[in-house]
Amino acid sequence: MSMILGDKEIQKEIEKKTIVIEPFDLKHLGTNSYDVHLGKYLATYKDAILDARKHNEINTFQIPLDGYVLQPNQLYLGVTEEYTEIHAHVPFLEGKSSVGRLGIDIHATAGKGDVGFCNTWTLEISVSQPVRVYAGMPIGQLIFFTVAGEIQNYYNKKENAKYTQRTDKPVESMMWRNHF
């Protein structure tokens, strides 16, 4: 049976280094989650029409100190400030309710990470109306589930893993690396 880790269990796993969060600050640890923050970079795709079989390039830019206004009908790729390593649990990234109440969605489909994921999290951000965002603002929360049984295929050990290069910038879709 999979269960969500509570705050004391998250702290124990951090001490054992099965969960790594950099930077880690105890004040961001919730009852059963850890708050992550919007990094300083956003990106948008260069082309208006994306092609799943092609490498769709992005324009990356830094969020100004006075914030950046996100617009509806535009997909933004963001990134978490926090680098994570998850060696024994299944991480889920969920939006914070305060962020959702501003009309900000932080992931279109990719809220679940894999055991062995070691990186910052690229966010798939969309908004329902214009909203100003700031680097360093709380953007989401990581929830950690226990895993039943042994892991055979850790993400960071897979030959075909597409998102293993450590970065502090958003990463575009690597769908084009699949064979279909």
**Tell me, what's the pLDDT at 159?**
78
What are φ and ψ of residue 148, in 5° steps? -85, 130
The domain of 130 spans: 7-46+59-150
Distance, in Å, from the CA atom of 96 to the CA atom of 138, rounded to the nearest integer, reads 8
The CATH number assigned to the domain holding 104 equals 2.70.40.10
Q: In this structure, what token pair is assigned to residue 156?
A: 């960071």
In a domain, 18, yes or no: yes
Is 146 among the domain residues?
A: yes
pLDDT score for 1: 61
| Angstrom distance (rounded) from CA 56 to CA 111 | 21
| Centroid of chain to Cα 127 | 17
Task: Tell me if 97 is assigned to some domain.
Answer: yes
**pLDDT by position in tens, the chain (length 180):** 669 999 999 999 999 999 999 999 999 999 999 999 999 999 999 999 999 999 999 999 999 999 999 999 999 999 999 999 999 999 999 999 999 999 999 987 767 888 999 999 999 999 999 999 999 999 999 999 998 888 888 888 777 777 878 889 998 988 888 888
**Residues with catalytic function:** 124
Counting the structural domains of the chain, the total is 1
User: Is the residue at 116 inside a domain?
Assistant: yes
- Give the H/E segment covering residue 16: helix 7-16
Residue 180, in any domain of the structure: no
